[in-house]
Chain A
Amino acid sequence: MRLTLNVWRQKGPSDKGGFEKHSLSDVSPDSSFLEMLDVLNEQLIEQGKEPIAFDHDCREGICGTCGMVINGMAHGPQQLTTTCQLHMRKFKDGDEIWIEPWRAKAFPVLKDLVVDRGSFDRIIQAGGYISVNTGSAPDANEILVPKTEADRAMDAAACIGCGACVAACPNASAMLFTSAKIAHLGLVPQGQPERYSRARNMVAQMDAEGFGGCTNHGECEAVCPKGITLENIARMNRDFVKGMFIARQEPKAQA
């Protein structure tokens, strides 16, 4: 395959950045999108140029490290697929492809296609856990979890934290990500004691990071490689509102 690539290049957070055009021939349709970029990078190194920086690690769709906007779509055209699992056979010979980083105020670009998603970690720090110290757990079968609830919790827990939901949202909202964790932990009995304070604190942190709010576009659900549903956002909103009513203290967010 022959391809024309327009790749976003940006030296650092303060650089303005811009697209750079490359043409690539002999691309194997069996290679993954990232392997296609590997080939381009090898050529750039050979020509004495700097290779394109992009994040990636497991290359099997589970670590959530990779992600780029391909032709305007987070993770590219294939549904339920991370960038690393997207293969070049989904494109046509002669295609022109536009490649950009995740774009959101809360995800500053570090270099080229690499962004800083530390804001996601801080949302988890605000309450995305069950407070149980090592060694203090009862026998696992003393906590019964109905299978239906366990399955729904697992559906939400499948989130890989890649940030495609934010990149796809016109408001750069992180509600799908945040709600997936709130739903996972709020659905199981172990998560009940902190259920409402968790929702309030995580939402407060999400806002403090500069993510936008949800206005029901549904773009996040459409691009999510793990099929996390909007239903989680509804659940989060319920827990958040209830939390506001029963709260004894202001929610805490890091500056």
Chain B
Amino acid sequence: MAQRNDELRDNAPSGPIETAWDRHRFDMKLVNPANKRKFDVIVVGTGLAGGAAAATLGELGYNVKAFCYQDSPRRAHSIAAQGGINAAKNYQGDGDSIYRLFYDTVKGGDYRSRERNVYRLAQISVDIIDQCAAQGVPFAREYGGTLTNRSFGGAQVSRTFYARGQTGQQLLLGAYQALERQINAGTVKMYPRTEMLELIVVDGRARGIVTRDMVTGKVEAHLAHAVILGTGGYGNVFYLSTNAKGCNVTASWRAHRKGAFFANPCYTQIHPTCIPVSGDHQSKLTLMSESLRNDGRVWVPKKKEDTGKKPSQIPEADRDYYLERKYPAFGNLVPRDIASRNAKDVCDEGRGVGPGGLGVYLDFADAIERLGKKAIEERYGNLFEMYERITDEDPYEVPMRIYPAVHYTMGGLWVDYNLMSNLPGLFVIGEANFSDHGANRLGASALMQGLADGYFVVPYTLGNYLWSERTDQKPVAADHPEVKKAVADVEARTTKLLSINGKRSVDSFHRELGKLMWDKCGMARNEAGLKEALARIPALRAEFWENLRVPGTGAELNQSLEKAGRVADFLELAELFAKDALHRRESAGGHFREESQTPEGEALRDDENFSYVAAWEFNGVGEEPTLHKEQLDFEYVKLTQRSYK
């Protein structure tokens, strides 16, 4: 692959990290209140990041247009986050601090994130809680009326704020309500059921988007002074994931094709406690909060022959509590990636349980005996109910069956400290960017990053860009050649998808791609498997463009057509994903290369050769992308090898 020497610059302020964001805010240009309404800003995606950004920019007085594919911004997939949101408030007085949250996040990301971004995230975390509480988000409370916290995902301090098991829902509704208030005030114009299908770039700057109205099919260009993408992650490249069915990479991928670099696509988070696949009809996977591992014991039969037996018929001596056996110090509470990989290993050995042998038991019998059924019901009642609804098995009587599933993608479009991509005027926030989680995200940190970017970072950095560039930004005419070309491209692509008239449905291609990605680019990756994926993806993509069948027309609500456009982009992303995974010959966080492990089977980093962000430049479909590197320097955090023995 081609490599360039011009290294990417993060544009982060130098000097002491503690004051970097303060100094940067002072150094940035401000837009006078009376001038803000002269700037048009497009926000694509209205989840925690996009919704918060659109609302805040509207409050500031910018002229905002916001877009989402859902029928309402209240439905973005941020809504499904269960566990909570981290913040370094130290309300519990248990030793937390901004510095500790910063340190834990960099370490948890296996030292593949940018220190200065993460420090800012930890600083802002405290403001988020204030903002959300003021909006009326019904966080859990102590009897005295103060906010309560819990420890989450193995953290040694209690810094997680929550609203029952629906924290994402409540935070999203807070942002949604703030957004609706601005829509009412006329500062934000909302376009629901509208999908971005192209980015408009004029004179090297992002100046607009092309959208398709998903009800009428109307294709339209929208122009602005800047474009913000808050369009989420790309976990659905695996077909089966915990993402919503509509989650897609299209906005990011269209921007990538127009020049925005895609960073670290191979960093994927696989969540260990999901409900296993029950059959070929399976359309998505459901996550169960990992708090279940606090009381549940994970096991499989010692002998393959026992996997068909009822769990109650397998005596204690014939059970393998493999996490407790291999990791006596952490037991069932080992980090997500280790729990996931070990589940895969025992299933690969043929000791998995349930349909297809793809499941392990999560057993609450001991906890029920120790604490009583009532205590378990209080802690996990809603989760047990959800499990029973889906599987028809009562987890109070029969052990749960769980299996890992794709949950979150740490990779995304490359951004600098200002959350701006290498394309001037294109900002990327939330899960859609690659920034703060390195190679692995800590539990309860996704909500924190989405809201930090949307409420507190991009409103400042966008203003700086708009004012600094104002004289260079000429008005773009609606019939500018780039605008016309982008619209024509979208229309041509839609026509093409509708006219192939082949034999296979979109879903059949998506399933096949997903299975290939899961088998070869899933929990554990190796050179041979990745090379096989790289051979098979282009072939599948070629078949897609020859043998796809999309019924209906483009001038109506056509869900097959929507899916077809998204799967077409996944088929291109998948190849870059596999390339990135192949090139990163080390293991780091959510990326496990079988060739790079410690004697104990832990992920083994190669800091000397891979302590960088891999940002890929698009050179055409099927063409070799160009690798740009952003070196990661660690001034504050000491690099160590993880060990959970």
Contact = CB atoms under 8 A, between A and B. Distances in A.
Interface string A129-152: 111111111111101111100110
| Residue of B71, B166, B286, B391 with highest tally of chain A CB at under 10 A | B71
B192 interface: yes
B79 A150 contact: no
B140 A150 contact: yes
Interface in A172-224: 184-185, 188, 190-191
A88 B26 CA distance: 60
A114 B556 CA distance: 13
B143 A58 contact: no
B244 A59 contact: yes
B549 interface: yes
Contact of B390 (A85, A146, A147, A190): A85
A42 B52 CA distance: 38
A190 to B, nearest CB: 5
Nearest to A134: B56
B560 A51 contact: yes
B136 A130 contact: yes
A63 B91 CA distance: 31
Nearest to B287: A60
A46 B505 contact: yes
Nearest to A117: B71
Given A120-B72, A133-B59, A184 B392 contact: no
Given A49-B551, A161-B74, A143 B181 contact: no
B389 A81 contact: yes
Contact of A64 (B74, B170, B390): B74
Contact of B77 (A39, A57, A124, A141): A57
Given A58-B77, A59-B284, A157-B170, A132 B134 contact: yes
B504 to A, nearest CB: 9
Given A28-B281, A125-B181, A129-B178, A143 B134 contact: yes
Nearest to A140: B133
Interface stretch (B144-152, B222-230, B593-601, B631-639): B144-152
Given A56-B245, A60-B80, A51 B551 contact: yes
Given A59-B283, A134-B55, A141 B72 contact: no
B55 A150 contact: no
A57 B220 CA distance: 25
Contact of A55 (B71, B190, B242, B286): B71
A132 B135 contact: yes
Contact of B180 (A125, A135, A160): A125
B559 A53 contact: yes
A131 B184 CA distance: 12
Contacts of A161: 72, 74-75
Contacts of A124: 74, 176-177, 180
Interface in B169-209: 169-170, 173, 176-178, 180-181, 183-184, 190, 192
A184 B138 contact: yes
Contacts of A89: 392
B79 A63 contact: yes
| Residue of A11, A39, A117, A140 with highest tally of chain B CB at under 10 A | A140
A30 interface: yes
Contacts of B560: 45, 51
A248 to B, nearest CB: 19
A110 B133 contact: no
A60 B56 CA distance: 30
Contacts of B455: 134-135
Contact of A135 (B91, B131, B391, B559): B131
A140 B552 CA distance: 52
A139 B144 CA distance: 16
Given A57-B70, A59-B245, A147 B142 contact: yes
A38 B283 contact: yes
Contact of A138 (B130, B190, B556): B130
A61 B284 CA distance: 12
Interface in A4-60: 11-12, 28, 30-32, 34-36, 38-39, 42, 44-46, 48-51, 53, 55-60
B147 A63 contact: no
A126 interface: yes
A72 interface: no
A89 to B, nearest CB: 6
B507 A150 contact: no
B279 interface: yes
A137 B130 contact: yes
A190 B133 contact: yes
Contacts of A32: 283, 390
A101 to B, nearest CB: 13
A154 interface: yes
B184 A125 contact: yes
A97 interface: no
B584 interface: no
A2 B409 CA distance: 39
B147 A140 contact: yes
Interface in B547-562: 549, 551-552, 556-557, 559-560
A136 B130 CA distance: 9
A87 interface: yes
B134 A130 contact: yes
B480 to A, nearest CB: 32
B138 A188 contact: yes
Nearest to A129: B177
A131 B278 contact: no
A175 to B, nearest CB: 19
Contacts of A53: 557, 559
B375 interface: no
A53 B132 CA distance: 36
| Residue of A11, A87, A137 with highest tally of chain B CB at under 10 A | A137
A154 B184 contact: no
A160 B76 CA distance: 12
A94 interface: no
A75 interface: no
B557 A114 contact: yes
Closest 5 CB pairs of A and B: A144-B145, A137-B134, A129-B177, A140-B133, A137-B130
8 contacts: A53-B559, A85-B390, A118-B71, A129-B135, A129-B181, A130-B135, A150-B141, A157-B170
Given A134-B59, A154-B163, 11 more contacts: A32-B283, A51-B559, A51-B560, A58-B77, A65-B71, A121-B73, A141-B146, A145-B141, A145-B145, A147-B142, A190-B135
